[in-house]
Amino acid sequence: MLEREPGPSTLALARSGEFTLVAWLSSTRTVSAPLAIVDLASAGIPVVALHYEATPEFIADCLLAGAEACLAADADARVIMAQVRAVLRRRGAYDGESRAVTGLLQVGDLTVDVDRCEVQRAGDCVGLTATEFKIVEFMARNNSRVLRPHDIMNAVSDGYDYLPREAQDVFKVYVRRIRRKLEPDPEEPRYLVTVRGFGYRLEGGRQLRLAPAAAHTA
């Protein structure tokens, strides 16, 4: 968990894709909070709005802006955590307790069964090698985060430390192999997504890319 004062730099950090969920502390004295929530929600970032003594109108504004939930900042911590977990479940992620009990990792319509070493896409089994499975499992445990090839390869390799350039070259080979098995169209990946200049991220496959013309007319 990372805490920052609200502001433009914090908003940019929240939009970076490094975080599974953003809790935005709001004030009823300004309209900046609903505007920030609109910005984050439009980028697909789940937001829980926190507030101190907000009016019903302000709570409604936050929810209409795209917040998944709106809670009092001084509410019982158990209530806040339960709401955060509910938001993550709706977004296709199990909380830590569920993972420990079920041995399953859920990312959108991808299911990673840690106990059986199997990956399913929308209920269909995807045949992966041992290393390919480890890569998908590691990325599922860090779903929606941008991961560097160096970190991924060293996390799934036993007894060998990859150098950054070496890891990048090796991981590109695995990316091609995994996409051939996992993606409906390997040329337009919806699951193992490249974040140019940074690394790779595992997505749930639900959001389809819009063609440029459609994006302008939507």
Structural domains for the chain: 8-90 (3.40.50.2300), 129-202 (1.10.10.10)
**Overall pTM surpassing 0.85 (yes/no):** no
Q: What is the dihedral angle through the alpha carbons of 112, 116, 118, 124, rounded to the nearest 10 degrees?
A: -90
Residue 28 or residue 147, greater confidence: 147
Give the mean model confidence (pLDDT) for residues 96-104. 52
Q: What angle do CA 217, 213, 192 make, to 5 degrees?
A: 110
What pLDDT score does 101 carry? 42
Give me the sign of the Cα torsion angle 10, 16, 22, 27: positive
Give the mean model confidence (pLDDT) for residues 151-173. 90
Centroid of chain to Cα 76? 26
Give the mean model confidence (pLDDT) for residues 174-200. 92
Share of the chain above pLDDT 90, in %: 22
For residues 26 and 51, give the distance between their C-alpha atoms in angstroms, rounded to a whole number.
Answer: 5
CA atoms within 13 A on the CB side of 166: 6
Rounded to the nearest 5°, which phi and psi values hold at 181? -90, -30
What pLDDT score does 99 carry? 47
**Contact at 8 Å (CB) between 29 and 3?**
no
What pLDDT score does 135 carry? 93
The chain-wide mean pLDDT, for the chain, equals 80
Given a cut of 90, is residue 39 above it in pLDDT?
Answer: no
Contacts 24+ apart (CB under 8 A), 171-175: 171/200, 174/131, 174/132, 174/135, 175/200
Span 101-112, pLDDT tens digits: 447 788 888 888
The 10 Å Cβ neighbour count of residue 50 is: 21
Given a cut of 60, is residue 68 above it in pLDDT?
Answer: yes
Residue 11 or residue 48, greater confidence: 48
